[in-house]
Amino acid sequence: MFKNMFKSGCLVRTAHIMLTWLTTLVLFLHNTDLRRCQERGDLVQPVVFISVVLLSVLLYFTVSLMDPGFVLSDSDSKGTSADSNEELEQMIPQDHSSLKQRRCGYCFLLQPMRAKHCKMCKRCVRRFDHHCPWIDNCVGERNHKWFLLYLCVQFVAVSWGLQASWSGVVFAPTWQQWFAQNGLVLGAFAVTAVFSVVVLLLLCIHLYLASVNSTTWEFMSRQRIVYLKHCDSEENPFDRGLICNLWHFCCVCGTVAWERIYVRHTSGTV
């Protein structure tokens, strides 16, 4: 675990922490709404804000350091037990060419459906979504829900910081004095504004992907994915409806045999 923490991703994580707490410090040092509440003795808003920031940092490290769903061996590509393996083999037609498992050209492991090899992590990841450089980790089957939760908390934190930094901007008779008095708080405003836009876009994208049971990789590269080539542009063989998709995404833990769902869909559409 500690070996993974102090690889190249250590620099990215250090930059994230420094930027987060420096921006937070600026918001409390200047005459912002948070500072004014603190001076009045009303500690509810400052404490809640710090709690949200701290939660976002904890979630950041959770998503960054946890296993996204690495395929460890050939047995990982065939379900979780011998019984499930036999059931799966019986359900999949032998002539179903699109379900033939292939070996990864990089790590030579059998790839389960929806898995992809990440060249950055040098591992195959189950239900691969994308490799996120900001967390220096893949987003996959095991940490996708935590990534979405992190985006939600992070958006609350940066949008609140955006409002707080704007409340600290003061007027001055000249442009030189205005920039001198507001330099740091304007920097905090710029940082929170950029992150607010980026996080909001990511949040909307991943909420949509979760609602239709798709991934960034499948959405962007469906013409190059074997099991999606024969599907129409609007067809998703893993889509089971909004409620079921969100329930599965948020509440179901563990490995999923996507081949079963795929076979049920393709058999029902024949």
pLDDT at 99: 60
Catalytic residue among 118, 124, 132, 138: 132
| 132 in active site | yes
Residues 6+ apart with CB under 8 A from 219: 209
> Could you give the dihedral angle defined by the CA atoms of residues 270, 96, 249 and 134, in that order, rounded to the nearest 10 degrees?
-130
Using CA atoms, how far apart are residues 222 and 215, in angstroms rounded to an integer? 10
The string of pLDDT tens digits covering residues 189-247 is: 999 999 999 999 999 999 999 999 999 999 998 888 888 888 887 788 999 999 999 99
pLDDT at 91: 42
The string of pLDDT tens digits covering residues 18-74 is: 999 999 999 999 999 999 999 998 899 999 999 999 999 999 999 999 999 999 887
Contact 64, 131 (CB under 8 A): no
Question: Domains in the chain: how many in total?
Answer: 1
The string of pLDDT tens digits covering residues 157-174 is: 999 999 999 999 888 888
What share of the chain in percent tops pLDDT 70? Answer: 85
240: in domain? yes
87: in domain? no
183: in domain? yes
Instruction: Give the residue numbers spanning the domain of 216.
Output: 2-67+131-269
- Mean pLDDT for the stretch of residues 266-270: 58
pLDDT at 260: 84
pLDDT at 93: 46
Confidence of residue 5 (pLDDT cuts 50, 70, 90): very low
pLDDT at 267: 65
101: in domain? no
201: in domain? yes
112: in domain? no
In whole angstroms, how large is the CA radius of gyration of the chain? Answer: 23
- Mean pLDDT for the stretch of residues 138-162: 97
Confidence of residue 253 (pLDDT cuts 50, 70, 90): confident
165: in domain? yes
Residue 144, pLDDT above cutoff 70: yes
Residue 152, pLDDT above cutoff 80: yes
pLDDT at 254: 78
- Mean pLDDT for the stretch of residues 139-168: 96
179: in domain? yes
What is the residue-averaged pLDDT of the chain? 86
Residue 147, pLDDT above cutoff 80: yes
